[in-house]
Every structure is written in structure tokens, then in C-alpha cells.
Amino acid sequence: MSRRVVLIPGDGIGPAVTAAARRVVDAAGVDIEWDLQLAGESAVKELGEPLPKSTLDHIRECGVALKGPLTTPLGRGYRSVNITLRQELDLFANVRPAKSFPGIKSRYEKIDIVVVRENTEGLYSGIEHFVTPQKDVVESIAVFTRRACDRIVRYAFEYAKTNDRKKITLVHKANILKFAGTMLFEAAARYAREYPEIEYEEKIIDATCMQLVIHPNQFDVIVTTNLFGDILSDLTAGLVGGLGVAPAANIGEGNAIFEAVHGTAPDLVGGESANPTALILAAAMMLSYLRWGDAAERIEKAIREVLGRRLVQTPDLGGKATTQEFTHAVIAAL
């Protein structure tokens, strides 16, 4: 049966990597009807706003979107469209796997870590203002609700159970952020009791960063706040070859958006050397979500095969292949 999926090409390298992911998904033989919608800079240019209502409406209708990266102007201009999408659609869980690939040089082998990041609040709540007339003091407010702490921790335990993972590490800063930490601990204590088969531990964010760098194989599933998850998932991506190979899923009750961890890569002018692996892997996560697990597995296998051969790799992994050449190799392996 055909399934309609919103496709947002995005900015910078976005159109190149989304086109690649679309070609690979189509080649996998699943029946997807792509519904092209705009967001980000391209939406500003074409429709005068970064997140047109029609884009949100179409995602709500379809329930699923595959999205390229979107530019967020630094310190000025419009608010992050990514954050708005996550909050508007209540996509509360951001799932970011980092898995070692054959053929990619990195410091460690056999890394298999999933960061589950709270995706709707914390320091990304968007509450920021000057508190003095001279504009020399700013308040940036982090909001933590019991509901969001509870559901992200529950999601992590349920994710661990359904994906046969053994351990959850709750990463926090409860020595300083005592109230927010306590809410997370209370939720975690409840679910640790409900899921006794999953080992549970708590770690402070700073110690976690060091441990991830020197002894990463001790981690399995990490559950953490919005800001810490944002930073940690770039770190875990770095453990397995970089942002070019790190996918992400934003999951809510009835909607989901799949994307790469990376941004628009403004330094890759033209975008024809961008590594599309992250978005192709995100598309595979989307297929699993849509219960096309077989196609998802075949896509992942094709990527592993192409990367493992080391013949066709993009410049971020030390190769010379273009986005198109790499995509072509993945489709051939499929």
C-alpha cells in the first residue's frame, strides 16, 4: 500500500542529501508518494516565511516527514524552525544512534550508542529576554516539566526494551540544577523498577563527556535533556566517523520527523561533496517506523557494504566520491 511522506529538502547541502535519500528509498522498492514541502531559507525566499502553515499542515496530515537540514540565523532573525517543528508537533523524543561502520577510520571499534534527547523544553524553551533597560543582563530560562521528564525517561526504557538494549545511563547536572535533576531521577527510579531487566545508572554530564572520549564502549542508551543531548550526540557522532554518518528521529505521539544530526554545512559550497549517509540512515529509520523493516535493513546493509569496500567514500571520510557517486554505489549494492 502506498504511503504519503512529506519531503523537506532544506538548505545548504539539504537538497543534495535529501535527493540522495529519496533515490535510495525508491530503489528499495517501497511505495512512497513524496509530498514536497518547504521550510527554512528556501521557504523564506519562495513563500516569505521560514515555516509556512501549509508545511506544518501537510506533516500533520501525513504523520511522517523526511527533512534536510535548515539554516538558523545566529543571534538574530527568525527562531529555529527545527525547534518550532519539534514543539508544534510535540516530537518529544530525539533518537540519535551512533554506530561504528566498517571502512571508516575512527578511534574506537564496535561503538553502538543511542542518545535519547528530550526534544521540547529545557534551555530550548525559547524564553529569553533582557532584564535591564541597558540590555546588559539576559535571562535564558530552562523549563523542565514533570510530564516531559517522565515521558522521555519512559521512552528510553521502552526503546531499550524493544531494541534489545541492556543499559540506560541518565545524564544530568543535578549537582547544580537540583530541581530538574530530581524530577529526572524520580522518573528514572520509577521506570528502573518497572524494567528490572535493563541496567540503570546515573552520570553527571561533564564526567560523561570524559568517559565517552576515553571509554565509550561502556555506554548503551543515554537519556538526557535537550541541551546535553544536542551536544553529546555530536560527540557520539565524532566517535564513529563524524556528522556525515549520524542519523536522527524526532518522535511524538502521532507524528515523526526523520533527519540527519548535521546542519547545512555552509563550508561545503555547492554541496556535491556532502556525505548523504546520515540522511539515508535517517530514511532507513523512517522505514522501520513505517513497518518497512525489511527495506530499512537492506538499505543499512548496502551502506555498510559500500563503506566497507572503501572504494567510494565522500571527502569527509577521506575519499573523493561525490554525493551522487556514493548514492549510485549504495543503489547498486541494494
Segment lying near ligand NAD (by CB under 6 A), choices 48-56, 65-73, 131-139, 196-204:
65-73
Q: Does 247 bind ligand NAD (CB under 6 A)?
A: no
Q: Which stretch binds ligand NAD (CB under 6 A): 31-39, 107-115, 271-279, 300-308?
A: 271-279
Interface stretch with ligand NAD, choices 107-115, 123-131, 212-220, 274-282 (CB under 6 A): 274-282
- Rule CB under 6 A: say whether 71 interacts with ligand NAD: yes
Taking residues 140 to 179 in sequence order and writing x for each that binds ligand NAD by CB under 6 A, - otherwise, the string is ----------------------------------------
- Say which of 11, 191, 203, 230 is annotated catalytic: 230
Nearer to ligand NAD, 252 or 263 (CB): 263
In three state form, how does the secondary structure of the chain look? CCEEEEEECCCCCHHHHHHHHHHHHHHCCCCEEEEECCCCHHHHHHHCCCCCHHHHHHHHHHCEEEECCCCCCCCCCCCCHHHHHHHHCCCCEEEEEEECCCCCCCCCCCCEEEEEEECCCEEEEEEEEECCCCCCCEEEEEECCHHHHHHHHHHHHHHHHHCCCCEEEEEECCCCCHHHHHHHHHHHHHHHHHCCCCEEEEEEHHHHHHHHHHCHHHCCEEEECHHHHHHHHHHHHHHCCCHHHCEEEEECCCCEEEEECCCCCCCCCCCCCCCCHHHHHHHHHHHHHCCCHHHHHHHHHHHHHHHHHCCCCCHHHCCCCCHHHHHHHHHHHC
Verify whether residue 124 is a known catalytic residue.
Answer: yes
Residue 69 interacts with ligand NAD (CB under 6 A): yes or no: yes
CB of 277 to ligand NAD, least distance (A): 7
Shortest distance, CB of residue 259 to ligand NAD, whole angstroms? 5
| List 37, 82, 169, 322, residue binding ligand NAD (CB under 6 A) | 82
Name the active-site residue from 99, 124, 200, 316.
124
Decide: is 274 part of the binding site for ligand NAD (CB under 6 A): yes
Find the binder of ligand NAD among 91, 265, 296, 302 (CB under 6 A).
265
CA dist 277 and 97 (Å) reads 13
Q: How far is the CB of 90 from ligand NAD (least distance, A)?
A: 17
- Taking the C-alpha atoms of residue 244 and residue 281, their distance in angstroms, rounded to an integer, is 10
Is 230 among the catalytic positions? yes
Residue 113 near residue 98 (C-beta atoms within 8 A) = yes
Does residue 266 belong to the site contacting ligand NAD (CB under 6 A)? yes
Residue number, 181 or 241, with CB nearest to ligand NAD? 241
**Which residues contribute to the site for ligand NAD (CB under 6 A)?**
13, 17, 69-72, 82, 243-244, 259, 262-268, 274-275, 278, 316
- Cite the active site residues: 124, 173, 206, 230
